[in-house]
Structure 1
Amino acid sequence: MRRRQFLKVAGAAMAGVTIANATGQHLFAAGGEGGELEYTAAQYTKMRRYMPTRFGRIAYLDEGEGDAVLLLHGFPLNNFQWRGVIPRLAGSRRCLAPDFLGLGYSEVTEGQGVTPFDQVEMLAAFLDELGVSSVDLIANDSGGAVAQIFAVRYPSRVRSILFTNCDVEPDSPPPALEPVIEMAREGTYPDMWLVPWLNDKDLARSKDGLGGFCYSKPGHPTDEAIDMYLSPLVESEARKALTNAYTLGLTPNPLAGIEAELRRLEMPVRIIWGMADDIFAKESPDYLNHVMQNSRGIRRLESAKLFFPEEYPEVIAEEALKLWQL
């Protein structure tokens, strides 16, 4: 989307309207609190692209212009997590949001691994196919582990990193994930948790569901978000197996021994942390702030949980824009 078109659409969306192009198709829709800009699931589906790589066909969004920012989602989510962030950043960056191997709508080559290390090499190949030499990174949850490994392996390709709640070496995988890992070992995780949540959205939002675990705002995740996130993970036995494989790829600790390498990285880093998160340790943002030599500090959101980027996209955009101006 061209910058002039984006600014026109964004300005109207902030007034609480929707915009249609010449064919009548909605490009953006006002949503969220205060009529703020956010893509719908239907729009996201129309915007989705696929990039053939040796790892498989990678589902992704590519919106905006300028230097590229690579948005790395959490587990068991996909790039729909960034539906409120991308419209806010597309006037300043080319927003690239791929679905990880084994999650979302990416189609994985038979026999291909889906560990964090596999994700890193997939991302490098994905960027090569797009002709993108360097990126800013924004990452959440297991995407944060992938971001750290990517930055260590390809430091010249990373201009900056915006971390949100995620794995760090002393807390990866976090103890709270052990029940999920055990179900994945038994091959039952999708059927035990994801299928019931998909079939009963209120259960998914309950204190014992995805909502209670990872969201702080009532009504999250929304019905369409649950469908977008979970439907592809359980659509076949092969996809359920990939979901289990992604889970098992988080153990043993993929970040073991990475601290010394992180300390050598020079790119600017900013950390935003939801302090009501019960998954990752509350000491983790301080750890990252200490380890990353060019950290620009921590912003703590006292009431936010793990997947707060979905609920507070304006905070992600605000902090990213500040980081990029430095």
Structure 2
Amino acid sequence: MMTTLTFPYEDIELAYTVSGSGPALILLHGWPFHKASFRRLLPLLEPHYTCYALDAAGMGASGWSRHTNFTFQGHVERVRAFVDRMNLSRYSVIGHDTGGTFARMLAITDAPRVDKIVAIDTEVPGHLPGVVPRLQSLFRRRLGRALFKAALGSKPLMRRWLGRSGFFVDKRLLDDEYMELFVTSWLRSDQAFRGLLEYLLGVDHSLVARLDELHAKIGAPMLFIWGEKDGVFPVRRAREMVARIPDKASLAVIGGATFLPHEERPDEVAKHILAFLDASVPVRLATENR
């Protein structure tokens, strides 16, 4: 297991890992995840890139405080501070879910340093998953927070809910490792639990509605990777989005996957990423060794 490192930002510590060698590649997770959500993808990227996997404020091993800015822009500013601290002159970004939106914002606010963007099952213009405002409403009430915390403590209940939410085609992937990493881990402390909630409360619906405007400002090439059966962000919406930016973006659809193709089909996702990023050495997929 990789060693988690930290760097200071304002009054908190932010966590990250560094692995591999080659050009810089930053990986940004979404909600309700942290940097370990890339654990199956990283081994396929590390032979070609120096991979920096970050925990967003309030998530994973990163801290947060009552002063933490949980807006999309706040998250992006912290990634830029990390890039400065690592002295990266150029880098590419992979982002999943909200991390994909942070990646697109970085392509604008840090354009001179951003080479390419890969966004996996991320926000699309004109579509807000209904579960987001419902959970935000729940998290703003004390009783709602208590009910959600109790639900997190029940693995059978959470397995059923996540199964119905369509996170995986293969429900066996909702195994003990997954549950410990991305469900019960949020119960290790009240600070961790509240960080999970504060992150989602910071999701900016108005910015998502303006994504077409953001895309028009992006100069860097973009690759969107999508699970064919994603029920959170339907692939139809992704096709419509990419059709509006054909000169700068392409779409790779992963069969047999939903919202987490990098968990379900890491080999296929890595193959698309490496071809897009122009890795100097072709990746040898695990499936090619069978």
What is the TM-score normalised by the length of structure 1?
0.78
The residue type equivalent to 1:272 in the other structure is I
Calculate the aligned-residue CA RMSD, in Å.
2.3
SS of residue paired to 1:283: helix
State yes or no: 1:278 paired with 2:231. Answer: yes
Tell me if the contact between 1:211 and 1:221 (Cα under 8 Å) persists in the aligned partners. Answer: no
2:17 alignment partner, one of 46, 55, 61 = 61
1:201 alignment partner, one of 138, 151, 155 = 155
Deviation, 1:293, is 4.9
Higher relative contact order (Cα pairs below 8 Å, separated by 6+ residues): 2
- Compared with structure 1, are the counterparts of its residues 156 and 188 closer, same or farther at alpha carbon in structure 2 (3 Å cutoff)? farther
Deviation, 1:211, is 7.0
1:220 alignment partner, one of 173, 176, 186 = 173
Partner of 1:52: 8
In the TM superposition, 1:82-121 aligns within 5 A as: 82-121=38-77
Deviation, 1:104, is 1.1
Partner of 1:267: 220
SS of residue paired to 1:219: helix
Deviation, 1:109, is 4.1
Q: Determine the C-alpha separation between the residues in 2 that align with 1:185 and 1:49.
A: 32
Q: Determine the C-alpha separation between the residues in 2 that align with 1:321 and 1:59.
A: 25
Q: Which runs of 5+ in 2 are unaligned?
A: 280-290
Q: Determine the C-alpha separation between the residues in 2 that align with 1:285 and 1:145.
A: 13
Partner of 2:267: 314
Q: Indicate the larger mover: 210-219 or 119-128.
A: 210-219
Deviation, 1:195, is 4.4
Deviation, 1:263, is 1.7
Q: Which runs of 5+ in 1 are unaligned?
A: 1-42
Tell me if the contact between 2:254 and 2:268 (Cα under 8 Å) persists in the aligned partners. Answer: no
- Compared with structure 1, are the counterparts of its residues 74 and 232 closer, same or farther at alpha carbon in structure 2 (3 Å cutoff)? same
2:132 alignment partner, one of 170, 177, 198 = 177
In the TM superposition, 1:1-20 aligns within 5 A as: none
Q: Indicate the larger mover: 117-126 or 137-146.
A: 137-146
Q: Determine the C-alpha separation between the residues in 1 that align with 2:156 and 2:175.
A: 10
The residue type equivalent to 1:53 in the other structure is Y
Deviation, 1:188, is 5.3
In the TM superposition, 1:293-304 aligns within 5 A as: 293-295=246-248, 297-304=250-257
Structure 1 runs, 4 residues or longer, greater than 6 Å off: none
1:78 alignment partner, one of 34, 39, 44 = 34
- Compared with structure 1, are the counterparts of its residues 127 and 195 closer, same or farther at alpha carbon in structure 2 (3 Å cutoff)? farther
The residue type equivalent to 1:316 in the other structure is V
SS of residue paired to 1:59: strand
SS of residue paired to 2:51: strand
The residue type equivalent to 2:22 in the other structure is G
- Compared with structure 1, are the counterparts of its residues 319 and 99 closer, same or farther at alpha carbon in structure 2 (3 Å cutoff)? same
The residue type equivalent to 2:5 in the other structure is R
The residue type equivalent to 1:241 in the other structure is R
Q: Determine the C-alpha separation between the residues in 2 that align with 1:111 and 1:286.
A: 38
Identity percentage of aligned residues? 22
Deviation, 1:204, is 2.5
- Compared with structure 1, are the counterparts of its residues 236 and 94 closer, same or farther at alpha carbon in structure 2 (3 Å cutoff)? same
The residue type equivalent to 2:19 in the other structure is E
Residue-by-residue CA offset, 1:220-252 (whole Å, 9 max, x unaligned): 233122222234433333333332221111143
Partner of 1:324: 277
Deviation, 1:148, is 1.7
Partner of 1:240: 193
Q: Determine the C-alpha separation between the residues in 2 that align with 1:127 and 1:232.
A: 28
- Compared with structure 1, are the counterparts of its residues 236 and 158 closer, same or farther at alpha carbon in structure 2 (3 Å cutoff)? same
Q: Indicate the larger mover: 146-155 or 253-262.
A: 253-262
Q: Determine the C-alpha separation between the residues in 2 that align with 1:212 and 1:258.
A: 24
Residue-by-residue CA offset, 1:239-294 (whole Å, 9 max, x unaligned): 33332221111143333434233223222222221121111133321233134354
SS of residue paired to 2:15: strand
